[in-house]
Amino acid sequence: MELRYTDEQRAFRREAREWLEANVPSGPLPSFDTAEGARLHREWEAKLNAGGWAMVPWPVEFGGRGADLFEWLIFEEEYYRAGAPKRINQNGIFLLGPTIMEFGTKQQKARFLPKMASSEEVWAQGWSEPNAGSDMANIQATALRDGGHYIVNGQKTWASRGAFADWLFGMFRSDPDSERHRGLSFILVPLNLPGITVRPIPQLDGLPGFAEVFFDDVRVPAENRLGEEGAGWRVAMATAGFERGLMLRSPARFQHTAQRLVSLCRAHRELVGEALQDEVARCWIGAEAYALETYRTVSKLLAGGKIGSESSLNKVFWSELDLRMHELALQILGECGPASENAAAAEWLDGYLFALSGPIYAGTNEIQRNIIAERILGMPR
C-alpha cells in the first residue's frame, strides 16, 4: 500500500492546476440546457480541447493525453477545485467515448472520438422509451437492415441533452422477431437526418434537459452500428458501467459539494444545531469514503483487475450522498431565514433539483439494489 503520489503525478497535477487557473471562466456560465448556455459551454469545451485537457485518459491521436486513471482522478480534482464549467458533452466523453474505445472499429474511433473530445459534436442518450424505462430490455424502436442502411422507426424519451445535441446513441431492435435483450443493436444516429423529430421536455427546473425523439423511416448508414448486429445489449451494459462508475461521477464532484456544505455550516454555525452539524460531518465522511473507494478501484484496475457490477454500488452511493448534501444545505439555509434571498441559496436549490434526478437516471437505485443483491451478493432471482 502506497498512498503518496509519484513525482510524475504531482507534476501532472501542477500542470493541470496552472492551466485551469489561467483559463477557467471567472463566473458561472448559464445552464447548458439553454441555447446561450449550450453555445458558451461548447466554446469552453473547444478551449479545453485546444489545451489538450478535454479527455486526458484518451490516446493522444483521439484528442487525449494518454493519461492513466490516477491522472484522470487528479485532473478531475483540479477541475472541480478550479470551479470549471459542467461538461456539456458528458454523454459523449464519459459514456459513449469509452464504449467506442472498447467496441469501435478503427474507422469509428477516428471518425467520432476527436470531434467528441472537442465537443464539435455533442451527444444525447437514447436509452429509454415510453415502455422501456427500468425494463430496458422491452425496447420497441426498430432499426431494420436495408442494404447499407438501417431504417429506424419508433420513439426514444428522456434523451438527456437531446434539445441541443448533434448526435444520439442508443439501442434499437434490429431483429424484429427477437425478444428482450436479444436482437438489439447499438446505433449512432445524427439528429439532423430526415424523419427525426426532437421535442424538448422541460425538467423540474423548467429547462429542457431532456427530449423525446421520434424516428419515422430514418435511414442511418450501417457503419454507424457499434459492435456486432444483435449484440447491442452487451455494448450498452459497458456504457451503463461507465455511467454508474468512475467516469461520469468521479469523486471530486462530491468532495467539492461537501466542501461547500461544510463552508455553509461553518458560516452559520451559531444557528445550526449539533444534530445538523453531525449530519454535515457525516456527508463529508461519505465524500471521502467515495474518494478512497475510487482510488482503491483504480489501483485494482491498473493492476489488471476488472470492474463489473460494482459500479452499481457507486451509483447508489454517490446519488444518495449528493441528495443528502443538498437537503442539508437547504435545511441550514432554512435556519437562516427565507432561502430565496441570496445567490448561494439559488445555487443550492438548483443543485437540489438536479440531485433529485440522481437516484432515477442511469438506472434507478431500486434496479441498482437488485443488481447488487443478485450479481454481487448472489441472492436468488
The residues annotated as belonging to the active site are: 243
**Is 362 near other proteins (CB under 8 A)?**
no
Nearer to other proteins, 6 or 197 (CB): 6
One of 35, 50, 285, 346 touching other proteins (CB under 8 A): 285
**Is 271 near other proteins (CB under 8 A)?**
no
The alpha carbon torsion through 252, 256, 261, 266 (nearest 10 deg) reads 120
Report, in Å, the least distance between residue 230 CB and other proteins. 30
Amino acid 73 reads: L
One of 277, 330, 336, 344 touching other proteins (CB under 8 A): 277
DSSP tag of 271? T
**Is 149 near other proteins (CB under 8 A)?**
no
Write out the DSSP string of 126-194.
E--BTTBSS-GGG---EEEEETTEEEEEEEEEEEETTTT-SEEEEEEESSTT--TTTTEEEEEEETTST
Report, in Å, the least distance between residue 310 CB and other proteins. 8
Identify the CA nearest to 67 among candidates 53, 77, 80: 53
Q: What is the dihedral sign for C-alpha 272, 275, 276, 282?
A: positive
Which single residue is written with the C-alpha cell 432554512?
334
Report, in Å, the least distance between residue 299 CB and other proteins. 4
Report, in Å, the least distance between residue 171 CB and other proteins. 25
Q: How far is CA 340 from CA 212, 216, 345, 350, in A?
A: 32, 45, 6, 11
Report, in Å, the least distance between residue 236 CB and other proteins. 22
Name which of residues 298 to 327 contact other proteins (CB under 8 A). Answer: 298-300, 303, 310, 313, 316-317
Of 22-30, 168-176, 286-294, 334-342, the segment contacting other proteins by CB under 8 A is 286-294
CA distance 52 to 108: 21
Of 25-33, 51-59, 200-208, 289-297, the segment contacting other proteins by CB under 8 A is 289-297
One of 78, 212, 243, 322 touching other proteins (CB under 8 A): 78
One of 105, 178, 228, 269 touching other proteins (CB under 8 A): 269
**Is 74 near other proteins (CB under 8 A)?**
yes
Q: 263 is written with which cell numbers? A: 463552508
DSSP tag of 196? E
Which single residue is written with the C-alpha cell 503518496?
4
One of 291, 328, 355, 362 touching other proteins (CB under 8 A): 291
Residue 87 buriedness (CB in 10 A; 0-12 / 13-18 / 19+): buried
One of 281, 337, 342, 347 touching other proteins (CB under 8 A): 281
DSSP tag of 96? I
- How does strand 210-221 pair with strand 167-173? unpaired
Continuous segment of H or E residues that includes residue 287: helix 274-302
Binding mask 13-42 for other proteins (x = CB under 8 A): x-----------------------------
Report, in Å, the least distance between residue 66 CB and other proteins. 18
Nearer to other proteins, 163 or 291 (CB): 291
One of 36, 61, 335, 366 touching other proteins (CB under 8 A): 366
Instruction: Return the axis-axis angle of helices 252-267 and 274-302, rounded to nearest 10°.
Output: 160
Nearer to other proteins, 263 or 342 (CB): 263
**Is 256 near other proteins (CB under 8 A)?**
yes
Which single residue is written with the C-alpha cell 425496447?
139
Nearer to other proteins, 76 or 243 (CB): 76
Taking the mean position of all CA atoms in its chain, how far away is CA 309? 17
Half-sphere exposure of 223 (CA within 13 A, CB side): 8
Chain residues binding other proteins by CB under 8 A are 1-6, 9-10, 13, 70, 74, 76-78, 80-81, 251-252, 255-256, 258-259, 262, 265-266, 269, 277-278, 280-282, 284-286, 288-293, 295-296, 298-300, 303, 310, 313, 316-317, 366, 368-370, 372-374, 376-381
